[in-house]
């Protein structure tokens, strides 16, 4: 009995070594390619103040002209396309070891509170953050959503 267990363990070790070897070979030949999701949703913070609402979205690496912000039917829409971070051009023979920064198309649809003044929206991009402010209306909206 103990001989069979030992034989199984030995075969398992051989299989694990073989799989490890195949994985190392595939990684050394850039077999794996990292792809960002088709679209991603950048993180957002929402702040509420007496005078209105403030949205902060993390969008490091974005050109400001590539960000589309609009209000429609009680929602705030923010979309664009973030380029992949560029690696130093002097580096050669580069392979990806870890990729956590989303790139590509992004889109967020955020419901707005009933008391926003959609005509008062302002947006500023600074230090990798998009800041959107929307003032409160003096009376709540009565439109359908």
Write out pLDDT tens, residues 13-48: 777 777 777 776 766 655 555 554 478 999 999 999
Give the global pTM: 0.66
Of 4-13, 109-118, 120-129, give the lowest mean pLDDT range.
Answer: 4-13
- Mean pLDDT, the chain, whole residue set: 82
Residue 17: the pLDDT is 76
Architecture category of domain 39-135 in CATH: Sandwich (2.60)
- What b/e sequence results for 100-134 when a residue is b if at least 16 CB atoms lie within 10 Å of its CB, and e otherwise? eebbeebebeeebeeebebeebeeebeeeebbbbb
Of 11-25, 53-67, 73-87, give the lowest mean pLDDT range.
Answer: 11-25
């Amino acid at each position: 009995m103990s001989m069979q267990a030992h034989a199984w363990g030995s075969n398992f070790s051989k299989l694990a070594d073989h799989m490890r070897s195949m994985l190392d070979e595939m990684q050394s030949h850039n077999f794996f390619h990292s792809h960002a999701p088709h679209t991603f949703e950048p993180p957002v913070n929402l702040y509420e103040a007496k005078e209105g609402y403030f949205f902060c979205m993390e969008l490091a690496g974005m050109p400001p002209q590539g960000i589309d912000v609009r209000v429609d039917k009680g929602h705030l829409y923010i979309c664009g396309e973030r380029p992949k971070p560029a690696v130093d051009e002097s580096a050669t023979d580069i392979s990806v070891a870890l990729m956590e920064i989303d790139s590509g198309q992004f889109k967020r649809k955020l419901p707005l509170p009933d008391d926003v003044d959609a005509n008062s929206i302002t947006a500023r991009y600074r230090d990798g953050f998009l800041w959107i402010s929307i003032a409160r209306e003096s009376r709540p909206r009565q439109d359908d959503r």
